[in-house]
Structure 1
Amino acid sequence: MIATMEYVSILDNAEKLGEMVFQSEVMEDYLEKKLEMEQDAEAQKLIKAFNHIKDHYEDIQRFGRYHPDYQEIMKKVRSTKRAMDMHDTVAAFKVAERNLQSLLDEISSYVATSVSEQIKVPKDGALLTDNCGCGSGGGCGCAS
């Protein structure tokens, strides 16, 4: 690959953009909430319990609803996940994570549409943010 000055400039600007994201308030909040969650013993206990039951659930998935413990495991998975998600530090982390994802989605959308309106940009939660649900922002023509 031949590196041109334009190519080097694009890479430099992408690196600067990455640094700007890393130094943003949204990223600071995300890292702060992540650290709080990692240092919260109760949250870690809930996460560990969820991961354990999730592993058991994955073993049962091979047989699906025909497994004798299927209903019991499904109830345990839901209740364990709910307990984990409702914990204050986990919930705060998930909000910070969504905010960071939203920022990254917005940046990718801006970069993509700067190149061409026809570029499809995958989005987290695309079904909730545009009418067509395909992630193109309506550019595909399937929007109602």
Structure 2
Amino acid sequence: MLKEVTHTDIISESLTLAEMILKSEQYKQYEIAKQAVKSDIDAQEMIWEFTKRKNDFEEVQRFGKYHPDYDRVSKEVRELKRKLDLYDPIAKFKKSEKQLDELLSEISLMVAHAVSEKIKVPTGNPFFDSMSCGGGCGTGGSCGCK
């Protein structure tokens, strides 16, 4: 006979799982990378500049290509984005963020499937998404669900 699971049991197990995530290597690397970006003056200046340019872009985006500064502002935003993405502390942060996201997606999938194989868990990862589709998605099976 199965033991009845109470809300208290679920909360307790959830807190244990949260503690395990906070002790994981992925989380530790994420925190280190996050602190490195926060303490890097050049990174902070680039982020500030990118945010400013992005706001400018959103303003010209309202008019699209008909705005006189659309091409210039669009190009500046793309160049700054690329510069940000290639800057080492930010690249390391993004990589650690992705690894933590993958861990959380795996855990979400495991928790959902512990309840029912039919639960869909959008992970953003095609490998895991294909595993989580339990059918009934309305695409006629083109997504790979059964």
Name the Cα RMSD after superposition: 1.7
Task: Report if aligned partners of 1:29, 1:96 keep a CA contact under 8 Å in 2.
Answer: yes
Give the aligned residue type for 1:75. Answer: K
Instruction: Give the structure 2 partner of residue 139 of structure 1.
Output: 134
Task: Report if aligned partners of 2:130, 2:143 keep a CA contact under 8 Å in 1.
Answer: no
Instruction: Give the structure 1 partner of residue 88 of structure 2.
Output: 88
- Spell out the pairing of 1:40-79 with structure 2 (5 A cutoff): 40-79=40-79
Q: Mean alpha-carbon deviation: is it higher for 59-68 or for 6-15?
A: 59-68
User: What displacement does 1:45 show?
Assistant: 1.2
Task: Report if aligned partners of 1:34, 1:93 keep a CA contact under 8 Å in 2.
Answer: yes
Instruction: Give the structure 2 partner of residue 24 of structure 1.
Output: 24
| Number of equivalences | 135
CA 1:67–1:129 in 2, change beyond 3 Å: closer, same or farther? farther
> 5+ residue gaps in structure 2?
136-140
- CA shift digits 1:8-45 (9 cap, x unpaired): 10111011101110111110110001001111111111
- Equivalent residue in structure 2 for 1:129, among 84, 105, 127: 127
Distance 2:10 2:42 in 1: 45
1:108 and 2:108 equivalent?
yes
Percent identity between matched residues is 39
Distance 1:56 1:15 in 2: 43
Distance 1:65 1:12 in 2: 55
- Spell out the pairing of 1:34-45 with structure 2 (5 A cutoff): 34-45=34-45
Distance 1:122 1:5 in 2: 26
1:7 and 2:23 equivalent?
no
Distance 1:129 1:37 in 2: 30
Task: Report if aligned partners of 1:50, 1:77 keep a CA contact under 8 Å in 2.
Answer: yes
Q: Matched residue of 2:6: which SS? A: helix
Instruction: Give the structure 2 partner of residue 99 of structure 1.
Output: 99
